[in-house]
Structure 1
Amino acid sequence: MKAQQQLRKRHPLESLGVKMARRGDIRIERLQDRLTPTVPFPHRHDFYQIVIVHSSQGWHEIDFAKYPVKGSQFFLIKPGQMHGWKLSARSKGFVIEYTEESFNKNFVGNAKLAQHSRQIPDHFKIPKGHRLFSAIFLELMEQEFKNQGDNYELSLQNYLSLILLEALRLTQAADRQIAESDDTVTQFTDLVEEHFQAHHQVEFYAKHLGMSAKTLSAKVQKSLGPSAKEYILNRCLLEAKRMLSYSDLGISEIGYSLGFDDPNYFSRFLKKNMKISAGKFRRTPRKP
């Protein structure tokens, strides 16, 4: 598979893992059994993947951050993110995978947790002595997945809910994201993910959501920080950086694929936001 084809493909839950899982399932497996992926790195998923490391040596790269792995750490790879790792053969920890369909929709709070997963940082260090992310707790969750007894799906949802809530608390994202959530913002980010390559104007998304561009931008800025326009362009920038790093497409080709018809404008857009030229960004190795 060519680099650009690999870059664009989002691998489903069914394509990874030791034990088969379907979309909507929750899977938990030992990190040591997943060190060599079924799909070559770097790759991207269409699901969420939590990697809880208890001991290891090496590195884990998510998009453009390359983290040295040492000691207890928590990683969360969101759908669409490019990632890869090189970890020692003696690594220990757990890999948990899920989708937004993995939660029972009758439990509204739990269902929204999957959406709030997007706000958890890609990486943080687990505090020393922390019990919820410990091997003892995760082994109990693993047994539920392996044994699949009565109501095991509900049990796995509750285990995962505790893990996500704790991650939100530890990263101080809980109050900001759960206390006053607005479904409009979630719908907006979903629409951007689907249409950002063709539509850069706030008016397009506002029309789909049945409101003015000004109202939409105010809601987005209150919840996420950047304005709606900034959010759209930031998403274009992220994809451009991915394509510069992981594909062999020319800079103009990348611009055209992201809806920038003027190659000169696209080059200026990249340099303004990356602080270096696209060519230099592509040649610069990413360091931990």
Structure 2
Amino acid sequence: MADIRPQGGTAGDGIRTLPFPAELSVGGVGMQVGPMGAGRTWHADDTPLDRVHRIDFHVVMLFDDGPVRHMIDFAEYEATTGELLWIRPGQVHRFSKSNEYRGTVLTMQPGFLPRTTVEATGLYRYDLPPLLRPDAPQLASLRAALSHLQREYEDSAPLPPALHTAVLRHSLTAFLLRLAHLATSSAEAGRRTESTFTLFRDAVERDFATQHSVSAYADALGYSRRTLVRAVRAATGETPKGFIDKRVVLEAKRLLAHTDLPIGRVGAAVGFPDPANFSKFFHLHTGMSPVGFRAELR
């Protein structure tokens, strides 16, 4: 497993925000690509990654071995040979203490690619799944594109720095377009009632901090409660209420981890003006009190 340390990004909550290690990039460009493993140096200093931290850059890991368990935004994902994990800037994550990471890792600094490419590749689609499972043809194409990108990254000598950077941007764009297509396809494949569920999902994302009622969402979207239940079950395997509660819990966890807000203010921010009700809700869904959850991360 790799080790990295930020150059000075420690939030008030004690969780480090790790900056992109540009000083370790070939030619100082805004990306890196190379093998994972015990010998991988991710930053100038060393610190264990099995503690919760944030990153301010993109990480894509393509695994050659597994399984590996990795926490992203407080959810555990298990990746194995031929699968990928895509972690986006600002997400909380933690490396496994017990698993070895083998394969190829790509890291990319925000701003390295132009805005049109960022939009085309969906770099900030936080609604897309971080764990990607390509089929054999998709995996072959991704491996080929990533291998080509790695060769271009490492072979900087024949080109002037500006031209090398331009070549890297083109190669990186080609890889990310394939990756974005896989991510979008994976999300769509699990949504048999796409339009109904998408409208509900977007409404929850917009209003979860103030609205927790399934009936209210159904009325606002113009569906019966039964139709909404069927759509959400088909897309996610859970009830609309479970989906809403999961989003509320995730936001509460983020606020508890990222900020020093008092527990009552965290509760109010996710729709619980009564601190006691928020604590009961949080304990019901996590098995921990808000205070206990925050203490465990520090």
Q: Compute the TM-score of the two structures, normalised by the length of structure 1.
A: 0.59
| 1:163 and 2:179 correspond | yes
2:283 maps to: 271
Tell me how far apart the structure 2 counterparts of residues 44 and 29 of structure 1 sit (CA, whole Å): 15
Unaligned runs of 5+ in 1: 20-26
Q: Are residues 16 and 189 of structure 1, via their aligned partners in 2, closer, same or farther at CA, if it must alter by over 3 Å?
A: farther
**Unaligned stretches of 5+ in structure 2?**
1-9, 24-29, 35-39, 46-51, 98-102, 154-162
In 2, distance between residues paired with 1:280 and 1:163? 38
Percent of aligned pairs with the same amino acid:
24
**1:140-169 Cα shifts (integer Å, max 9, x gaps):** 2464995647xx86x766533433566789
1:176 aligns with 2:190: yes
- Paired positions, count: 252
User: How many angstroms apart in 2 are the aligned matches of 1:174 and 1:266?
Assistant: 33
Code of the aligned partner of 2:105: G
Partner of 2:49: none
1:140: which partner in 2?
148
Q: Report the Cα offset of residue 225 of structure 1.
A: 1.8
Contact 1:185-1:219 within 8 A present in 2 as well: yes
Q: What's the C-alpha RMSD, in Å, of the aligned pairs?
A: 5.3
Verify: 1:30 aligned to 2:38, yes or no.
no
1:236-277 Cα offsets, whole Å, 9 max, x none, are 111212223333333222111111012111111111111233
Which residue of structure 1 lines up, in the alignment, with residue 238 of structure 2?
Answer: 226
Q: 1:95 to 1:281 in 2, by over 3 A?
A: same
C-alpha change, 1:277 and 1:192, in structure 2 (3 Å) is: same
Give 1:183 shift: 3.3
What are the equivalent positions in structure 2 for 1:69-218 lying under 5 Å apart?
74-78=84-88, 81-83=91-93, 93-95=105-107, 102=117, 118-121=128-131, 131-132=140-141, 134=143, 137-141=145-149, 143=152, 148=166, 159-163=175-179, 175-177=189-191, 180=192, 182-208=194-220, 210-214=221-225, 215-218=227-230
1:3 alignment partner in structure 2: 12
Larger radius of gyration: 2
**Which amino acid letter does the alignment assign opposite residue 163 of structure 1?**
L
Amino acid of the structure 2 residue aligned with 1:140: H
Given candidates 56, 62, 72, the residue that maps to 1:62 is 72
Residues 138 and 245 from structure 1, CA distance in 2 versus in 1: closer, same or farther, beyond 3 angstroms? Answer: same
Q: Deviations over 1:5-25 (max 9, x none)?
A: x99x9x9xxx96859xxxxxx
Whole-Å Cα distance in 2 between the matches of residues 181 and 147 of structure 1? 43
Is the CA contact 1:117–1:164 (under 8 Å) kept in the aligned structure 2?
A: no
Cα 1:256/1:190, change in 2 over 3 Å: same
The question of whether the paired residues in 2 share the 8 Å contact of 1:198 and 1:258 is answered with: yes
Shift of 1:197: 1.4
Q: Measured at CA, do residues 114 and 255 of structure 1 come closer, stay the same or move farther in structure 2, by a change above 3 Å?
A: closer
Task: Say which SS state the counterpart of residue 198 (structure 1) adopts.
Answer: coil
Match of residue 3 from structure 2: none
* Alpha-carbon spacing, 1:232–1:94, altered in 2? closer, same or farther (3 Å): same
Aligned to 1:220, the other structure's residue is in SS state: helix
| Structure 1 equivalent of residue 54 of structure 2 | 43
